[in-house]
Protein backbone atom coordinates (compact mmCIF):
# COMPACT_ATOMS: atom_id res chain seq x y z
CA UNK A 1 0.00 0.00 0.00
CA UNK A 2 1.30 3.42 -0.90
CA UNK A 3 1.42 6.12 1.77
CA UNK A 4 -0.99 8.97 1.06
CA UNK A 5 0.05 12.24 2.67
CA UNK A 6 -3.28 13.88 1.80
CA UNK A 7 -5.20 11.68 4.22
CA UNK A 8 -5.23 12.38 7.96
CA UNK A 9 -4.36 9.00 9.35
CA UNK A 10 -4.57 7.65 12.88
CA UNK A 11 -3.62 4.21 14.10
CA UNK A 12 -5.25 2.02 16.71
CA UNK A 13 -3.02 -0.78 17.93
CA UNK A 14 -5.06 -3.52 19.60
CA UNK A 15 -2.73 -5.62 21.76
CA UNK A 16 -4.04 -9.14 22.22
CA UNK A 17 -1.23 -11.01 23.92
CA UNK A 18 -1.51 -12.74 27.26
CA UNK A 19 2.05 -11.57 27.95
CA UNK A 20 3.13 -7.99 28.64
CA UNK A 21 5.72 -6.66 26.18
CA UNK A 22 5.46 -9.82 24.09
CA UNK A 23 7.12 -10.48 20.77
CA UNK A 24 4.14 -9.32 18.69
CA UNK A 25 4.01 -6.05 20.61
CA UNK A 26 7.75 -5.48 20.25
CA UNK A 27 7.48 -6.02 16.51
CA UNK A 28 4.49 -3.66 16.28
CA UNK A 29 6.28 -0.97 18.28
CA UNK A 30 9.27 -1.27 15.97
CA UNK A 31 6.99 -0.77 12.96
CA UNK A 32 5.04 2.08 14.59
CA UNK A 33 8.26 3.92 15.38
CA UNK A 34 8.68 4.42 11.63
CA UNK A 35 5.32 6.08 11.09
CA UNK A 36 5.48 9.81 10.42
CA UNK A 37 5.62 11.78 13.67
CA UNK A 38 2.32 13.54 12.96
CA UNK A 39 0.32 10.30 12.69
CA UNK A 40 -1.55 9.74 15.97
CA UNK A 41 -1.19 6.33 17.60
CA UNK A 42 -3.42 4.84 20.25
CA UNK A 43 -2.42 1.61 21.96
CA UNK A 44 -5.03 -0.46 23.78
CA UNK A 45 -4.00 -3.57 25.66
CA UNK A 46 -6.95 -5.93 25.83
CA UNK A 47 -5.62 -7.31 29.14
CA UNK A 48 -6.15 -3.89 30.69
CA UNK A 49 -9.52 -3.21 29.11
CA UNK A 50 -11.06 -6.45 30.43
CA UNK A 51 -13.66 -6.74 27.74
CA UNK A 52 -16.34 -9.21 28.86
CA UNK A 53 -16.87 -12.29 26.73
CA UNK A 54 -19.06 -11.35 23.78
CA UNK A 55 -22.71 -12.31 24.13
CA UNK A 56 -24.59 -12.41 20.85
CA UNK A 57 -27.85 -10.56 21.49
CA UNK A 58 -28.72 -9.92 17.83
CA UNK A 59 -31.60 -12.38 17.62
CA UNK A 60 -33.62 -10.85 20.40
CA UNK A 61 -37.07 -9.74 19.40
CA UNK A 62 -36.08 -6.08 18.92
CA UNK A 63 -32.72 -6.93 17.24
CA UNK A 64 -31.27 -3.72 18.69
CA UNK A 65 -27.85 -3.97 20.26
CA UNK A 66 -26.70 -1.49 22.86
CA UNK A 67 -23.25 -1.50 24.45
CA UNK A 68 -23.53 -2.30 28.14
CA UNK A 69 -19.94 -2.06 29.32
CA UNK A 70 -17.52 0.89 29.62
CA UNK A 71 -14.68 -1.18 28.14
CA UNK A 72 -16.82 -1.94 25.10
CA UNK A 73 -17.66 1.74 24.63
CA UNK A 74 -13.98 2.68 24.88
CA UNK A 75 -13.08 0.15 22.20
CA UNK A 76 -15.98 1.14 19.97
CA UNK A 77 -14.99 4.81 20.01
CA UNK A 78 -11.28 4.05 19.59
CA UNK A 79 -12.11 1.82 16.62
CA UNK A 80 -14.27 4.46 14.95
CA UNK A 81 -11.65 7.16 15.59
CA UNK A 82 -8.92 5.24 13.71
CA UNK A 83 -8.25 5.11 10.00
CA UNK A 84 -5.94 2.15 10.49
CA UNK A 85 -6.42 -0.73 12.91
CA UNK A 86 -3.51 -3.01 13.69
CA UNK A 87 -4.34 -6.31 15.34
CA UNK A 88 -1.27 -7.19 17.38
CA UNK A 89 -1.63 -10.78 18.43
CA UNK A 90 0.65 -13.76 18.78
CA UNK A 91 -0.24 -16.79 16.73
CA UNK A 92 -2.19 -19.07 19.08
CA UNK A 93 -3.41 -22.34 17.65
CA UNK A 94 -2.98 -21.00 14.11
CA UNK A 95 -5.17 -17.95 14.62
CA UNK A 96 -5.59 -14.77 16.66
CA UNK A 97 -5.53 -14.81 20.44
CA UNK A 98 -8.88 -15.25 22.17
CA UNK A 99 -8.92 -11.64 23.39
CA UNK A 100 -8.31 -10.34 19.86
CA UNK A 101 -11.01 -12.61 18.49
CA UNK A 102 -13.40 -11.38 21.21
CA UNK A 103 -12.69 -7.79 20.14
CA UNK A 104 -13.65 -8.71 16.56
CA UNK A 105 -16.73 -10.58 17.81
CA UNK A 106 -17.94 -7.29 19.29
CA UNK A 107 -17.94 -5.83 15.79
CA UNK A 108 -20.88 -8.14 15.09
CA UNK A 109 -22.91 -6.46 17.82
CA UNK A 110 -21.82 -3.00 16.73
CA UNK A 111 -23.46 -3.63 13.33
CA UNK A 112 -26.79 -3.56 15.18
CA UNK A 113 -26.47 -0.41 17.28
CA UNK A 114 -29.35 1.77 16.12
CA UNK A 115 -28.07 4.62 13.94
CA UNK A 116 -24.41 3.60 14.31
CA UNK A 117 -23.90 2.29 10.74
CA UNK A 118 -20.72 0.63 12.01
CA UNK A 119 -20.04 -1.50 8.95
CA UNK A 120 -20.53 1.41 6.56
CA UNK A 121 -18.31 3.67 8.69
CA UNK A 122 -15.53 1.07 8.72
CA UNK A 123 -15.48 0.75 4.93
CA UNK A 124 -12.30 2.14 3.39
CA UNK A 125 -10.24 1.92 6.57
CA UNK A 126 -7.21 -0.36 6.70
CA UNK A 127 -6.82 -3.51 8.77
CA UNK A 128 -3.29 -4.70 9.57
CA UNK A 129 -1.88 -7.69 11.46
CA UNK A 130 1.34 -7.97 13.43
CA UNK A 131 2.04 -11.42 14.82
CA UNK A 132 4.83 -13.52 16.20
CA UNK A 133 4.92 -17.28 16.01
CA UNK A 134 7.08 -19.81 17.73
CA UNK A 135 8.18 -21.78 14.67
CA UNK A 136 10.22 -21.14 11.55
CA UNK A 137 7.43 -22.15 9.16
CA UNK A 138 5.76 -18.82 8.38
CA UNK A 139 2.98 -20.68 6.56
CA UNK A 140 1.70 -21.72 9.99
CA UNK A 141 0.18 -18.22 10.10
CA UNK A 142 -1.79 -18.71 6.86
CA UNK A 143 -5.10 -19.45 8.66
CA UNK A 144 -4.75 -16.25 10.72
CA UNK A 145 -3.92 -14.18 7.64
CA UNK A 146 -6.80 -15.64 5.63
CA UNK A 147 -9.24 -15.01 8.47
CA UNK A 148 -8.28 -11.35 8.80
CA UNK A 149 -8.22 -10.84 5.01
CA UNK A 150 -11.75 -12.24 4.76
CA UNK A 151 -12.87 -10.04 7.65
CA UNK A 152 -11.44 -6.96 5.92
CA UNK A 153 -13.17 -7.94 2.67
CA UNK A 154 -16.48 -8.43 4.45
CA UNK A 155 -16.16 -5.02 6.06
CA UNK A 156 -15.08 -3.43 2.75
CA UNK A 157 -11.84 -2.44 4.44
CA UNK A 158 -8.40 -2.56 2.89
CA UNK A 159 -6.11 -5.31 4.13
CA UNK A 160 -2.79 -3.60 4.78
CA UNK A 161 -0.84 -6.79 5.22
CA UNK A 162 0.73 -8.96 7.85
CA UNK A 163 4.06 -8.52 9.57
CA UNK A 164 5.31 -11.91 10.75
CA UNK A 165 8.06 -12.43 13.27
CA UNK A 166 9.54 -15.52 14.81
CA UNK A 167 9.80 -15.54 18.56
CA UNK A 168 8.54 -17.69 21.38
CA UNK A 169 10.58 -16.73 24.42
CA UNK A 170 10.44 -13.08 25.56
CA UNK A 171 12.33 -10.74 23.24
CA UNK A 172 13.27 -13.47 20.76
CA UNK A 173 11.63 -11.64 17.84
CA UNK A 174 14.40 -9.04 18.01
CA UNK A 175 16.76 -11.74 16.72
CA UNK A 176 14.59 -12.14 13.60
CA UNK A 177 16.44 -9.72 11.33
CA UNK A 178 14.00 -10.33 8.44
CA UNK A 179 11.03 -9.25 10.57
CA UNK A 180 12.78 -6.36 12.27
CA UNK A 181 13.98 -5.00 8.92
CA UNK A 182 10.51 -5.45 7.40
CA UNK A 183 9.01 -3.56 10.34
CA UNK A 184 10.81 -0.37 9.32
CA UNK A 185 8.65 0.00 6.19
CA UNK A 186 5.59 -2.06 7.08
CA UNK A 187 3.09 0.76 7.74
CA UNK A 188 4.61 3.17 5.21
DSSP letter string over the chain? ----TTS---EEEEE--SSTT-HHHHHHHHHHTTS-TTS-EEEEEHHHHTPPPP---TTSTT-------HHHHHHHHHHHH-SEEEEE---BTTB--HHHHHHHHHHHHHTTSTTT-HHHHHTT-EEEEEEEESSS-GGGGHHHHHHHHHHHHHHT-EEEEEEEEE--STTGGGG-HHHHHHHTTS--
Domains of the chain: 11-183 (3.40.50.360)
Q: Decide which of 161 and 1 is more confident.
A: 161
Q: Tell me, what's the pLDDT at 56? A: 82
Residue 5 has pLDDT above 80, yes or no: no
Residue 139 has pLDDT above 70, yes or no: yes
Query: What percent of the chain stands above pLDDT 70?
Result: 93
The rounded distance, in Å, linking the Cα atoms of 33 and 183 is 9
> Smallest Cα–Cα separation from 65: which of 21, 110, 34, 32?
110
Mean predicted confidence (pLDDT) in 49-66: 77
**57: pLDDT confidence band, cut at 50, 70 and 90?**
confident
**Cβ atoms of 157 and 79 closer than 8 Å:** no
Residue 63 has pLDDT above 70, yes or no: no
Residue 67 has pLDDT above 90, yes or no: no
Amino acid sequence: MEWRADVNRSFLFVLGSARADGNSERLARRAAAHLPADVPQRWIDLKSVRLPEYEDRRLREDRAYLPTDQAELELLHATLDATDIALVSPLYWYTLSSSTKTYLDYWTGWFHIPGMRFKERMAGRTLWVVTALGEDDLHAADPLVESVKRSADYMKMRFGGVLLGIGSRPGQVEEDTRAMTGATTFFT
